[in-house]
């Protein structure tokens, strides 16, 4: 995960991407997060794809992801694949 894709506002973490932004998507300008309604320029804004903000209806970060982001470790945590 690239650090430029991580936005922290107060106690919330937002993972962003350069994906195409559509009406209804959550976006950020790195100062605030809001839902895009086709009423503003998209210049300097990025789509929010994951977060720990439970008010947003998008995929939520797991605690281990949050810990990784906040500790600044250089290695990703071990990923375990469980096949049943």
At 58, list the tokens. 């998008």
Predicted confidence at residue 75, as pLDDT, reads 57
Taking the C-alpha atoms of residue 38 and residue 31, their distance in angstroms, rounded to an integer, is: 19
**How confident is the model at residue 4, as a pLDDT?**
74
Predicted confidence at residue 70, as pLDDT, reads 82
DSSP state at residue 44: T
Average pLDDT over residues 45-66: 92
72 Cα distance to chain centroid: 16
Task: Examine the pLDDT at 8 and tell me if it is beyond 60.
Answer: yes
Cα 41 from Cα 84, distance rounded (Å)? 47
> Residue 77 pLDDT more than 60?
no
pLDDT value for 47: 95
The answer to whether the CB of 7 falls within 8 A of the CB of 28 is yes
């Amino acid at each position: 995960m690239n650090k430029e894709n991580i936005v922290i506002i107060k106690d919330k973490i937002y993972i962003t991407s350069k994906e195409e932004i559509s009406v209804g998507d959550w976006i950020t300008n790195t100062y605030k997060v809001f839902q895009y309604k086709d009423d503003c320029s998209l210049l300097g804004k990025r789509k929010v794809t994951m977060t720990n903000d439970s008010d947003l209806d998008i995929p939520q970060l797991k605690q281990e992801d949050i810990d990784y982001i906040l500790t600044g470790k250089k290695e990703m945590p071990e990923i375990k694949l469980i096949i049943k």
